[in-house]
Structure formats: C-alpha cells, structure tokens
Structure 1
Amino acid sequence: MDAIFTLSELPALMPYLIEEGKTADTWVFEAPMGAGKTTLIHALATYCGVQQTVSSPTYALVNEYTTAEDKTIYHMDWYRLKDEEEAVNAGIEELVNSYWCWIEWPEKAIGILPDDVFIIRIVVVNETTRRIVTELSHQSFIPSYL
C-alpha cells in the first residue's frame, strides 16, 4: 500500500491494512516522533473491535487489547528501551511471538523481531497529511533510514 491521507480519511484505510498484513503476526510501525503511530494503532484497534482504551505504552512498554473475535493484540512501544538485552530481560521477546504484536520504535531491538514482519512506514507530508507505505518482509526488519 502507498497512500496519502488526512486524519479524517484514516478509518477508510483500515480494511486494506488488515488485508495486507494478515499473514504476519508482527507489525512494526516506523515513523518519526509525532507522525501518528499511536493514532494509526488506535484506528486499527477500533476497526478490530477493541473496546479497551488504546494509548501509547511508552512507560509500560506493552498494552494488551482484546479484539471482537477474542484475539489478543500486544501493543508495544520500545522508545524507552536501551537495547535488546533490556527487551529480553523484560520478557518482551516472548510476547513478540504472540498472536498479534504491533510495535512502535522497532529499531530499538531489531534482533528479537521474527523474520516475517509487516512494515508500516508513516511519512509526514505536512501538518495534516501523512503518507503510509507498507511492505511484507520475509527477512529481518531494516529501518528505512539505514
């Protein structure tokens, strides 16, 4: 997918994202600070029927949500992780192999990611517009800026 959108257009993209990413349990969100990673995840969770409050797990590292089909989503924010060792010590590596993991700041612990990931890149076009580019990867995640 390669789409340009505003916040009001975001819900219309959800069926396409779900369809594109359906073969990967781990979704990584790559974008600069303030680009809308958590906003996109909130829209995805709402589309999947999550009833819990969806917020960034920046301090908790992981939030757990349940979909309308009673499936678990682990929403992770690795921004505050120092390195992969800290992620492993926190038990995050085990969760990455769960039903569904949506990970913000995946570059903080690339080594614990599975080979198959659905990459969602958000590019800031301007103050109100974003571009989303997706890719299904069958090799280790490599941030686009490397």
Structure 2
Amino acid sequence: MNKFLEQIRLDDLPNVAQQIIEFADEVNVWLFEGNLGAGKTTLIKELCSQLGFKEAVQSPTFSIVNAYPLDNGSDLYHFDCYRLNNQEEAFDFGIEEYLYSGNKCLIEWPEIIADLLPVPHLLISLEIQEDQSRTIGLEIIKE
C-alpha cells in the first residue's frame, strides 16, 4: 500500500501528520528517510504532538533514542541511527526490546538497522523540491 503527499509546506504539517497517522496507525515502526534538512525531525515533532506527547521533542542524535510518555500511558520511542557504525551497536543498547515493545518507534536514518526491522513497518520518504516544498511518500512494507 502506497500513498504520496505532494507540495507539503510547514503550515501543512498538522494535516500531513494526521494523514500519516490515519494511513498507518496500526503499524508501530515508522522509518524516516530523506537528505539532511528534508524535515524528518520537524515532521516527527508534529507526529509526536498529535500522538499525545505535548512537551518539546529533541532529536536523539547523541543519545540514539529518546522515550516520550504519551497521554494514553504508553511510550513513543524516537531513534536517530545516524551515528551508529553497525548493527552490533544497536544490539548493545537493546534496540530489539524497543522495536518489539508494541509501542510506536519513529526512526531517523534507519539504513544501518534495516535487517533488524519487524514487518510490517512504515517507510516515510521525504524529498525537497525546487520550490522548497516537500514530497512525502508513504509505503507499508509487509515483507
């Protein structure tokens, strides 16, 4: 199942986040791919807000993972795998426990852990257009 959202601007983020949640709410692992500056963290901040985390969201670049308690009592996990050198480092901090916890996991720079991901998972691809708008592709990976 695929979906594309085109010409997204910053003031469209609440609507875009709602569309993503509706598209893939039953999927717990969401991957974010895009070049530096594509808006991965900005989109994640809006998604976290709409999923029930009302505090400031910070990129976990140095901590690798941040846990955000949600209004419904569950946790949402935000990963930034950019600094990981290999999958062994992911195992060292217990990534499998997060991925299979049943909680939402939002993962920036997921390429290094691709072999560890459960299915289904959602791939969110962000691409900057010439006019600085974004195109967002959504694909639920089932195998």
TM-score, L = length of structure 2 = 0.92
Tell me if structure 2 keeps the 8 A contact 1:7–1:128: no
CA distance in 2, matches of 1:48, 1:127: 30
Whether 1:70 aligns to 2:93 is no
CA distance in 2, matches of 1:53, 1:73: 13
* C-alpha displacement of 1:79: 0.2
| 1:96 aligned to which of 99, 109, 119 | 99
CA distance in 2, matches of 1:127, 1:75: 29
Secondary structure (helix, strand or coil) at the match of 1:132 reads strand
* Larger relative contact order, structure 1 or 2 (CA cutoff 8 Å, min sep 6): 2
> How many residues get paired?
139
Runs of 4+ in 1 over 4 A off after TM superposition: none
- Percent identity at matched positions? 37
User: CA-atom RMSD, angstroms?
Assistant: 1.2
| 1:28 aligned to which of 24, 27, 31 | 31
| 1:132 aligned to which of 129, 133, 136 | 136
TM-score, L = length of structure 1 = 0.90
Q: Show the 5 A alignment for 1:1-146.
A: 1-4=3-6, 5-98=8-101, 99-126=103-130, 128-139=132-143
Tell me if structure 2 keeps the 8 A contact 1:56–1:77: yes
Residue ranges of structure 2 left out of the alignment (5+ in a row)? none
